[in-house]
Structure 1
Amino acid sequence: MLKDQQVGAVLPAADIARARGFYRDKLGLEPDNPDAEDNLQYTCGGGTRFLLYQTPNAGTAKNTQIGWMVDDLPAAVAELRANGIVFEEYDFPGLKTEDGIATTPDGSSAAWFLDTEGNILSLNHMA
């Protein structure tokens, strides 16, 4: 029933105005509903969408909450760094980043960063 349906992410924001500025100024995204005050809806590639909504629960998840697929991960990381994004460094069994990028044995790679609300976001490149 769901395998052919588009999916979208839902992200919490403690301060929706602060989040709007981050997604606009750092990621280059504008909301589809610019006049909204308690939620922001964004459309990205292929018609995929995500929603940011106001809640005091923001920043409590310790996992990746949304990720973008990119063709050139090092270039995307460099572009976001130029916008002030700081990438996370991880060193876990089976996952270690080097200069913010982790590469898996199958050749896939990813990089993670936080938004202003404490949400963990990622850039991903599949091998």
Structure 2
Amino acid sequence: MLQDFPLYSDLPARDVARARRFYEDTLGLHAREENAGGATYRFAGGTACFLYPTPNAGTSKASQAFWQVRDIHSVKRALEARGVVFERYDLDDDDGAWDDGVFTGGGAKAAWFKDSEGNILALIEPV
């Protein structure tokens, strides 16, 4: 039943103004709505995320959200040119491999980075 409906994500922010500078100035996103002290960003396919204030931002050790991209290396390079710093994790995947900061394994290529609030975000390209 739930698969018949769009899924949206929430991104926590300790400092919404700082987080908005990261998402808008660094990533180049445009807020479509402002409400409840936060901002909503809309993406392809009718998807969206809500950036909201909370003292719990950055506490998760897992990815909060990801963008599915067509050419992960070119998107990664473009984001690096805008100042985004990518992470490298010690993954328990004997079948995976790193190439220029992109991990390939489990049927996808992935590259992770953190936002200004410490949330882990990712680029994913199915292979």
Q: Same fold (TM over 0.5)?
A: yes
Query: Mapping of 1:29-44 within 5 angstroms?
Result: 29-34=29-34, 36=35, 38-44=37-43
- RMSD, aligned α-carbons: 1.4
Structure 1: give runs of 5+ residues left out of the alignment: none
Paired residue secondary structure (2:61): coil
Structure 1 CA distance, aligned partners of 2:117 and 2:101?
20
Q: 2:66 matched to 1:67?
A: yes
Shift of residue 98, structure 1, vs aligned partner:
3.5
Say if 2:36 and 2:52, in contact at 8 Å, map to a contact too: no
Match in the other structure for 1:56 = 55
Greater Cα offset, 95-104 or 70-79: 95-104
Shift of residue 105, structure 1, vs aligned partner:
5.2
Q: AA paired with 2:98? A: T
Match in the other structure for 2:46 = 47
Match in the other structure for 1:99 = 100
More strand by proportion, 1 or 2?
Answer: 2
Q: AA paired with 1:23? A: Y
CA displacement, residues 20-57 of structure 1 (integer Å, 9 cap, x when unaligned): 100011111011125x4711101011110000101111
Match in the other structure for 2:114 = 114
Paired residue secondary structure (1:33): strand
Paired residue secondary structure (1:91): coil
Give the TM-score taking structure 2 as reference length: 0.92
Match in the other structure for 2:9 = 9
Identity among equivalent pairs (%):
45
Give the TM-score taking structure 1 as reference length: 0.92
Structure 2: give runs of 5+ residues left out of the alignment: none
Structure 1 segments, 4+ long, off by >6 Å, are none
Number of residues of Structure 1 aligned to a counterpart in Structure 2: 125
